[in-house]
Amino acid sequence: MSRIGRNPVVVPAGVTATVEGQTVKMKGPKGELSFTCPEQVEVKTGPAGIEVKPREETQMARALWGMSRSQIANLVEGVTKGYAHTLEIHGVGFRAALKGKDTLQLQVGFSHDVIHKIPAGVDVKVAGAKQEIIEVSGIDKQKVGQMAAVIRASRPPEPYQGKGIRYRGEYIHMKEGKKK
């Protein structure tokens, strides 16, 4: 029995939810999202909200049951509050800049600039006195998290001096240098 899957997804006021077959569509103040559930789970609207149940008692259906419920809950949170990740750049001369609306340019210690295309539905802002803070936001949790991970992967923090790109609040376990 899935502890997450058995709880219905509550649809707050101001959000319109429609279930058409296996597709769940949410429309709220921030925008519109949809998710297509796998065939192994059954989705329907009930008095408490959107309910998800497995069609048969197989291991795959039980695994997809909780995942589907979590994806639907992410749709609700996305169209009401949205998602955001904040990245910090540490290093002398390291900085970020926006080139137009769909390109992020990073100067992170390479001989060339690292350029990332910003996908549709994701907003990226550069802030800070030295252009060292990158804020990634949007309504789709997967797109926002993926974009933040791609930016971080362009120069992950190294364990000796801590230079690189990290999430705000991320702890970097520092290693001790060479001993004489």
**Token pair of 168 as six digits:** 């705000």
Cβ atoms 172, 163 nearer than 8 A: no
- pLDDT confidence of residue 2: 67
Q: What pLDDT digit, counting tens, does each position of 89-139 carry?
A: 999 999 999 998 899 999 999 999 999 999 999 999 999 999 999 999 999
Residue 177's pLDDT band (boundaries 50, 70, 90)? confident
pLDDT higher than threshold 90 for residue 1: no
List, for residues 58-83, the tens digit of each pLDDT value.
999 988 999 999 999 999 999 999 99
Domains plus CATH for the chain? Answer: 16-80 (3.90.930.12), 83-167 (3.90.930.12)
**120 bridge partner residues:** none
- pLDDT for 14-63, tens place per residue? 999 999 999 999 999 999 999 999 999 999 998 989 999 999 989 999 88
Which has the closest alpha carbon to 1: 63, 44, 46? 63
Structure tokens at 63: 């695994």
Pick from 89, 7, 85, 102: nearest CA to 46: 7
Mean pLDDT of 132-157: 96
Helix residue ranges, H only, 81-158: 141-153
Q: CA dist 119 to 47, 85, 101, 102, Å?
A: 37, 15, 10, 7
Tell me what pLDDT residue 154 has. Answer: 96
